[in-house]
Each structure stands twice: as structure tokens, then as C-alpha cells.
Amino acid sequence: MSDPVTAITRNDEFVDREMVLKFMSSAAFWLVFAPSIGVILAIKFNFYDFLGHVPWLTWGRLRPVHIMGVVFGAFSTAIIGLTYYIVPKLCGVRMYKENWSRSIFWLWNIFLWIGIISLMMGYNSGIEAGEFPLWVSIPVEIALTMVTIQVIGTIKQRKEPRIYVSLWYLSAAYVWTVFNYAFGHFILPYSMPGVNNAAMHGLYIHYVVGLWITPAGLAVIYYFLPLAAKRPLYSHKLSLIGFWSLAFFYPFVGTHHYIYSPIPYWTQTIAIVASMMLIIPVWTVIQNFYGTFVTNWRRFQESYTAKFLVIGALYYFFGCFQGSTEALREVQRLTHFTDFVIGHSHLTVFGTFILWVTAGMYYVIPRLSGHELYSKSLAQWHYWLTVIGFSVMAGVLTIQGLMQGTMLQVGADFVDTMVAMKPYWFTRTLAGLTMDIGALLGMWNLYKTIHMGKAIAMPAGAPAGAAPEPMWT
């Protein structure tokens, strides 16, 4: 199936439209809520007593809400919804055990909320990106396992003879995450003290990014890229090289945040080498991306799906370049414990993968709701506020991180480096607020599209169950 433009535009009748739209609506909420918590945290850098008299709203309780809200609320909820769209279309059959989907929806969303409230109350396992307490982690693990069974079962029963690369990435992402989530929430907080805990935590958090967010996000771009460009994927073989290089090298990356630590030197070196080798899957994506879009850049003006995919690919390139180079010992001496690392994490998680799932939402929601995009103007504001705000924030974090590292290396007092950062933190706050306003406008636009968008007229002779083709997606 090397040409998804022709091969996956059919099979609309196998998609549970109601279920996908429910997950998209839930994801839209989380895509506004979680970054908004980030703005509150950013304000606290300059005004440390902001909301500080309320225990639930202190820094230590809100930061895990922001992290878990972005990773498992915004990104993962959108991915599950897009999974229910992508997998049946690529397999040519309805989702395996489709009746589970409603139970998964409520289980996932109810316990995400219980998890957020638990974190604000101070119940925290102490593992970054694995902070949900046990009574939340168990239901979330059950939901992830159920979705994994659905994905694998659907692929096993598929009617399409070949497995398109998006299915490779999605199935691997779910299988890896079922094991990694259990490791980070059920084993790591209870049985590994000291340096071993730090080393294993490095593995866990990088597996969240590299074996969940990255492959699931790449599944999205490989599915929607040819559709947005209205061209065949540049190279299916190149995409599989990227998949296997990610699968082989990423498991060894985890300890590259612990350079110069008590962790054995040879494990640090392996992590550095593996980090540099991750340039391979990055370049396969970039080559495939721009190879697919070449000669048809007009789609960048016509399609909001294309707009968010293109800018996300640009951030992906810069973010992954940062990730590989900052693993080098000499670079890490300058950047470790600075805002450079925060800029890198935002470039990859938000700048790349959140924008890619947003692109998927712009494609899916009008087609499944049967409505034209509610407002082209709101979509434009969403895009430009996101691009401008995020570019400023990522740039400021990167620059101030390099400044922090330089000041510390020449012997500046730590407190003096914090004072020097205040103007940059304030700029970062304004940039984050700009992004959040854009997200609010965009998600409101998609919500209104579902409920109040103009109905799309189906062309004469369209097959039964076919999704309508909107004008601006």
C-alpha cells in the first residue's frame, strides 16, 4: 500500500464516527486545559507568590498536572481517537471488539480527571511523567491494554494485504507503552532506590517520549501527510528504515541526561552514541515529508492539516537536532540544568507532536461530522498565534539556557543567573499566553464545526458511508 491517497480514502464505513468525535472533543478540552496550567507555572517564575496561598495551586502540585495533562490528557486522548479513525481505514475492517471503545472512553477520561485532582491534592508517586497515584495508574493501564488489544486484533483481521507504515508505528507504540507504563507506575516507585532509580527513571521517561509519543506521532504524520499533500508518500521503504532505527536505538538513550553522574561511564557512552544515531529516523521523516510535498506546496495555502504538519516537521527537525547534540558531554556541560533542556522538550512534545495531532483533528473532524470548518478566520488565528507564540517561547528558552550555562561556567553565583533570567521568563509567559489563546480559538472552532458547521453536500454517485470532502482542511 505505497499510495495511501488512493488506498485509504475508502473504507469510511468501517469508522465509528461517534466514538472518534467523542475522543476529539475530549482532546480539544485537554489541549486547552493542560497548556493553560503551563502559563500559570510560567507566571510563577516572575511572581513566585502568584496563587501561592492556595495549596492546590502551588508550583509543586501544578507542574505534574501540566506534564501529565499534556502527555496523557492532550496528546494521548487525541491519539486514541485518531487510532479509531486510522486503524479501521488502513485495515478495511471495523475495530476489533468495537464495543469496548465506549468503556475505554469513560474509563480513560474519568480517571484522567481523578488523576489530575489527586495530583493537586498532593498525591504523587514522585516519578516525572509517571506521577499518577496507584488508584489512577491501574485503570489507565487497563484502558491502554484494551486499546492495544483492539489495535493488534484489527490488524490481525485486516482485509488490506499490506501493512502501511502508520500501523507499524501505532501497534509498536501501544505494545511498548503497555509495558513501559506498568514499569514506571508499578515497579519504579517501589523497588529501585538510589542511583538505580535515577538510571531507570531516565529510561522510563525517554520511553514515554521515544516509544509512545514519537511513534504514535509519526503514525499520524505518515497517515495524514499524503492526504494533506494529495500525493503518494515519497518512500515507504524509507519510512520503515526510520521505524526500525527508532526501535533499535531509542531504548539505549535514557541515561543521556545523567552524564557525569555516578551511573557507569560505559552506559553513558552508549546513551550518547544511541542519541547521535537517532539522526537516522529524524532524517527519514524529514526526507519523506518534503519529498512528498515537493511540487505541491500550494496545499500549504489550502489545507490547515498541511499547515500544522509542515510547521510541526520544522520544529521536529530543530528539536531532534537539539536532542542529539545535547547528549554530547561537552554540550551537556553547558546546557544541563538550564532552560535549554526545557526548550528542547517543548520543541519536541508541543512543537512537533501536539501540532501533528492538531493537524489530524483538522482533517478528521469536518469529515466525520459532515460539516465544513466553522470559521476559516478562527483557524488562521489558531495557526498564526501558535506559530508566533511558540517560536518566541522556544527561541527564548534556548537562548536563556545557553546564557545560564555560560554564566555558571565562568563562576557566576546561581542566584545572579536567576535574576538575569527574569526578562526572558516574562517574555516566555507572554509567548505561552499567545499560544494558549490560539489553542482556545482553534479548539472552539473545531467544537463549533461538530455542532454548528455548515453541512457538506455529498457529490452525486458517492458510495454509501463515504465521508464528505470539506473545503478547508
Residue 465 CB neighbours (<10 A): 12
Give the torsion through C-alpha atoms of 272, 276, 277, 281, to 10 deg: 130
- Under the banding of pLDDT at 50, 70 and 90, the label for residue 257 is confident
- Under the banding of pLDDT at 50, 70 and 90, the label for residue 460 is low
For residue 433, what are the CA distances in angstroms to 41, 45, 69, 385? 11, 14, 17, 10
Top-confidence range, 146-150, 276-280, 319-323: 146-150
Residues 6 or more apart in contact with residue 62 via CB below 8 angstroms: 37, 40, 41, 120
Residues 6 or more apart in contact with residue 323 via CB below 8 angstroms: 275, 278, 344, 348
Residue-wise pLDDT for 302-346, tens only, equals 789 999 999 999 999 999 989 889 899 999 999 988 999 999 999
For residue 194, what are the CA distances in angstroms to 53, 166, 197, 204? 33, 39, 5, 15
Residue-wise pLDDT for 356-387, tens only, equals 999 999 999 999 999 999 999 999 999 999 99
Query: For the chain, what is the mean pLDDT?
Result: 91
- Under the banding of pLDDT at 50, 70 and 90, the label for residue 3 is very low
Q: What is the DSSP letter of 213?
A: I
Residues 6 or more apart in contact with residue 181 via CB below 8 angstroms: 130, 137, 140, 141, 144
Least Cα distance to 381 among 313, 445, 288 occurs for 445
Residues 6 or more apart in contact with residue 167 via CB below 8 angstroms: 86, 87, 90, 91, 155, 219
Instruction: Summarize the confidence of residues 383-392 as an average pLDDT.
Output: 97
Nine cell digits for residue 96: 476489533
Nine cell digits for residue 383: 495557526
Least Cα distance to 432 among 373, 386, 470 occurs for 386
- Under the banding of pLDDT at 50, 70 and 90, the label for residue 64 is very high
Least Cα distance to 369 among 85, 100, 88, 91 occurs for 85
Distance CA 210, CA 200 (A): 15
- Under the banding of pLDDT at 50, 70 and 90, the label for residue 5 is very low
Q: Cα 187 vs. chain centroid, distance in angstroms? A: 25
Q: Is-contact 324 348, C-beta < 8 A?
A: no
Give the torsion through C-alpha atoms of 443, 448, 449, 452, to 10 deg: 180
DSSP secondary structure letters along 326-366 = TTSHHHHHHHTTSHHHHHHHHHHIIIIIIHHHHHHHHHHHH
Whether 293 shows a pLDDT value over 50: the answer reads yes
pLDDT at 211: 95
Instruction: Summarize the confidence of residues 280-284 as an average pLDDT.
Output: 91
Lowest mean pLDDT among 24-38, 163-177, 298-312, 430-444: 298-312
Instruction: Summarize the confidence of residues 87-106 as an average pLDDT.
Output: 96
Q: What percent of the chain has pLDDT over 90?
A: 75
Burial 406-437 (b: 16+ CB within 10 A, else e): ebbeeeeeeeebeeebeebbbbbbebbbbbbb
Mapping DSSP to helix (H, G, I), strand (E, B) and coil, where does residue 145 land?
Answer: helix
Least Cα distance to 472 among 459, 447, 452, 453 occurs for 453
Nine cell digits for residue 472: 478547508
Distance CA 285, CA 292 (A): 10
pLDDT at 4: 47
- Under the banding of pLDDT at 50, 70 and 90, the label for residue 468 is low
Residue 273 CB neighbours (<10 A): 14
pLDDT at 473: 59
CA atoms within 13 A on the CB side of 326: 25
Q: Is-contact 180 215, C-beta < 8 A?
A: no
Residue type, 230: K
pLDDT at 299: 76
**Start-end of H helices in 47-161:** 59-68, 76-91, 100-121, 134-156
Q: What is the DSSP letter of 462?
A: P
**Start-end of H helices in 230-303:** 236-249, 265-277, 279-293, 298-302
3-state helix, strand, coil in the chain (%, to 5): 80, 0, 20
Distance CA 218, CA 356 (A): 9
